[in-house]
Structures are given as structure tokens and as C-alpha cells.
Structure 1
């Protein structure tokens, strides 16, 4: 594995930054992680997976921040910390509320800068990426141009955001319909995406051993966001990677089934290189990435 990296810098995290959200029913809490020094920081807004929260995904968040990014992590309503269950009237619309959470974070950059000590004036509002893992990947993909198909197969509302210049989708689910198990089809009607309009440059990361109980397909299901969307796109397939891709949700988290520091390092370094080249003019990190036996990369 040969992947160029810059010298990491110390980082600081502040949480919670609370954004009022009356229509949501629960104020939006955000964790902000950024390097201690530097200005003109590109921004990554990160959507967590089902049940997670703003305090997870430290292996990625801390790495990105140490290499020059400000990372903003909202806690979505499905987080176990909020205990919003199926009996809550908001539950059927959580997938839409998740997207609205990311948009609210983007709308609140001035507020976030003002309340986080030492951050004022340091964010570059014109260089923004979104990223997400699992359900968070679907959430992020909506801002990149993906849509949810209606019952008749018609693409639904366009939720793309022109402020977003790039994306990173980690272990993100593929198409719905016949590809879903009966349970998934009955309980998760929003799991019917189309990537045909997902035009924003994006890196898709999938594990070649990621087998979901939500789909009748195999690990190739998680490559759909790459193969079924227009370019420019890139794909990293992680050798031996399952849904946690070696452990990106956090250090020693119980949901990691394929614990591998080596896989985590691969995902850390490849995603950092992609984000740097996508958001920092003149950065050549991505063109120099060679994953070796740990995975394979293709682009189009």
C-alpha cells in the first residue's frame, strides 16, 4: 500500500453545538472536529449509520481533521441516544429528516463558526463535501443527486445541494425492488434509490465481504452507487472488508465484525487522499494512491 499523506496536525473537538430545529421536534446536536491551526479549511459533513451518533467514527473524523478538514457530525433522530422508535410519528420520515439535518448544518455554518472557540473565519464555505456510512451513505447521496423512487418507479424529489462539491459513500446500500429481502421491502420503502442523477464527483467504498440481511444480492450490492451513476466517480473495494470496513465506526465498537487496523488505515488514507484532491486545488494525492493487496481502485 502506497498512499501519500501530509504531516498530521493536532485537532480539537467541540460538542454539542446545538442548532434549534422546532419543526424537527428535537434540536439538532452537532460535533465539530477541526485542526487547531490553519485557515480556509474545507468542510466535510458526515452522516452516521443507523443508531450511531455524533461521537462515533473517530478513526475517520480525526484523520480527516488532522489533514486539514473541518468535520461536522450531526446526530440524526434514529440515534440510540435519542430513543425515537417506530411509535413516534416522525419515524416514517426519518430518512427525509436525515437529509434535512445535513442541509441545516450547511445553512448554519456561520452560527457554527461563531459558537466554536477559535473557529471563526477559518472555514471555506465554497469547498464542501458530504460523507456517510451505511444509512448515512444514503443520506449523503441525496445531496449528491441520488433520489428515492416512488411506488410507480418515478424518481422522487431532487434533494441535491449545489454547495456540495464532492462525496464519500461508505458501505452504502444499492438498488431496491427485487434486490431487497421481503423484510426490507416491507419496512424500508425509502430503500429504493436511483443513482442516475447523482452527478457530483464521489468516492464509493465497499467491502468485498459485505453481505447484508437487507438484500438478496451479495457484496456487489454496495457498488451500485458507483456503477449506476454518471461520472466522475471512483470506487475502492476493500479486500476482506465487511460492513464496518475493518472498524471505521469507532475504536473497539461492538458492531465491528471484521476488526482490522490495516483495513481501517487503508480507508483512512484513501478517503483522505480523495477529499484532498477533490477540495484542494492542485493537490495530487489521489493520483498517487496505490492500495496494493489491501484493495482495488477504479475510476471513470
Structure 2
């Protein structure tokens, strides 16, 4: 009964609306390279967006690091080691804004986000002010304001890329963003795809989430949905309804019999398929890697563990 009340309260809060997505300028950035053939070492840094404002936004950043950084062997369970403040690898990298769920923190998603960084993406994960694990004034309904926080972070990163002296300056492909998130972070991700959103946002990954009011409008972008078939917090039907509502290319990765996110833990059934499918999807949509798109169906499906439904996946994003 308690779980049912939680689901009802969460969905009421999430469908009530969200802050507007304010588009950033769509200037294009030159000097972008193909998807990297080998994994990188992974660096990590932290900063705060608008530290003196009404909604300060602490941010954790995982990024591809220089080859001269310490060894980066990716262990099956622990994943890449994140080295604080090591130099960023040469080149520009697409950016993934990753949103945590209720009572969570960015570091709790590191098994996934560090592997994306090793694959050649800068992953920026905000700690939302009123829904994180340590929030003093936790408010579930504040999820409706988080899509605007995500766009505030994107605008900050565009400015940061042009800021002399910042370690990330000149390393962000600021015309190649994706949004991703789990649970309430999945709803946040959907809410970033609102009417009038910037074309900088080229793709989205909604994990154990669904749509917010006003989601899936504006410029069409490919979307990947990931959901457990026995999710007791956000029922799979909510994710499938969002998939059906979304516009343009989309895929739905189902995990029959699984719950709200155990498949995000290394070594658990489905983790390898979720990691491979999300990485393929990001390489396809942000690096224009057609081979990754072609690999995605085979990488995503393990009979008895995962299923995949796709719609209109074109040659490129």
C-alpha cells in the first residue's frame, strides 16, 4: 500500500508540469572527431552552478582524461577509476547531462556514468537541490523544476567551454548534448524535451521514468527508454506510454521481471546489455557512428533477460 501511495504521489507531482526549457544559442562548433576506437582514462571534477542563487546546483563531471593519466583498466564490477582533476584528453567530446532520482546522488550512478566517460563522453551530473539524498527540504514535487535546472546547466557549460583557463574550455562539443536519467531523473530528462528546446539537445535516455507535461515537443530527437518489467515504483506501462508519445526515432529496452534499477548494478542480469545499448545509442546520436546504430539491436538483447522494440531508427541522428 505504501508503494502504491508513493507511485501515485510521484506521478501526480511529475505530470503537474515542469519549468520551461530555455533554448541556448545554436552556434556550431568545428573540429569534431569520430568516435574513439579505445577507452580513455577517466577524470572527475566538481563545481557549483549559481552558488549564490536561489537554486545552487552542485555538479559532478566525469570526463575522458589524457592517456598519461594512471591506468584505466575497466574492471567488471568497479568500472574505471576516476582520477580527480587530471588533464582532459585532447579534442572535443559530446556531453551527457545525467539526472539522478529521488533520494539519490550522482556518485551512486558512477558505475554507468564513468563507463560512458571512458567511451568518450563528458558526463555532467547535477545534484538537484530538493530531491537529492541529503536535501534538507526534500520535496518530490520539485521534480517539475528540474528540467529548467538541466537547461541552466547546459547554458553554463556553453559559457564554460569559451572561458579561458577553465580545464574543460575547448573540450566540449557544445552542439552535441544528450540528456539521461533514472527514475525521477528520467522524468526530468523527458521534461527537457519541451517545446522550443534547443537543437543542441540531440538525444535522450529515459531509465525507469516517463513523460512530464509538455514533454516530447519541439525539435525531434532520438530517444531510448529502459525499464524493468516488474518495476514497483514506476510501472513499466508508464515508460511504454512515454515511448508511444515520443516523436521520431525511439527504442524501448525492456527487462522482464526486473524492478526499478537493479540492472544498473555491475554484475547483475541486464547490466551488460543496458551499458552496451546506451553506449551504442550515445555513439550513434552524438558521434554519428552508424556502426554503433547497427550494433545496438544485437548488443541490447539477451534472450530471457532483455527485449528491444525500435521505431524508425534512421542512418543518423
Which TM-score tier does this pair reach, normalised by the shorter chain?
Answer: 0.7 to 0.9
CA offsets 1:201-236 (integer angstroms, 9 cap, x no match): 101111112133x6xxx5333222212222211111
Task: State which of 193, 196, 201 in structure 2 corresponds to 1:164.
Answer: 201
Name the count of aligned residue pairs. 246
Contact 2:42 2:62 (C-alpha < 8 Å) held by counterparts: yes
- Cα distance in 2, alignment partners of residues 109 and 228 from structure 1: 30
Residue 292 (str. 1) matches residue 309 (str. 2): no
- Cα distance in 2, alignment partners of residues 195 and 28 from structure 1: 23
Task: State which of 100, 113, 117 in structure 2 corresponds to 1:61.
Answer: 113
Task: State which of 53, 57, 65 in structure 2 corresponds to 1:28.
Answer: 57
- Cα distance in 1, alignment partners of residues 252 and 165 from structure 2: 35
- Cα distance in 1, alignment partners of residues 136 and 196 from structure 2: 27
Relative distance call for 1:131 and 1:115 in structure 2 (3 A) is farther
Contact 1:142 1:160 (C-alpha < 8 Å) held by counterparts: no
TM-fit CA distance, 1:173: 3.4
Relative distance call for 1:115 and 1:12 in structure 2 (3 A) is farther
TM-fit CA distance, 1:162: 2.8
- Cα distance in 1, alignment partners of residues 206 and 239 from structure 2: 10
Residue 8 (str. 1) matches residue 39 (str. 2): yes
Give every structure 1 segment of 4 or more consecutive aligned residues whose post-TM-superposition deviation is greater than 4 Å: 110-117
TM-fit CA distance, 1:261: 2.5
TM-fit CA distance, 1:22: 4.7
| Corresponding position of 1:188 | none
Contact 1:166 1:202 (C-alpha < 8 Å) held by counterparts: yes
| Corresponding position of 1:209 | 230
Say which is worse superposed, 63-72 or 285-294, in terms of deviation.
Answer: 285-294
Task: State which of 94, 104, 113 in structure 1 corresponds to 2:152.
Answer: 104
Matches within 5 A, 1:10-159: 10-15=41-46, 17-20=47-50, 22-23=52-53, 25-36=54-65, 37-77=89-129, 78-86=131-139, 92=141, 94-110=142-158, 112-113=160-161, 114=163, 118-145=167-194, 158=195
TM-score, normalised to structure 2, is: 0.70
Relative distance call for 1:50 and 1:6 in structure 2 (3 A) is farther
Runs (5+) with no aligned partner, structure 2: 1-35, 66-88, 312-317
TM-fit CA distance, 1:26: 4.0
Relative distance call for 1:288 and 1:85 in structure 2 (3 A) is closer
Matches within 5 A, 1:187-206: 193=213, 197=217, 199-206=220-227
TM-fit CA distance, 1:109: 1.0
- Cα distance in 2, alignment partners of residues 116 and 49 from structure 1: 33
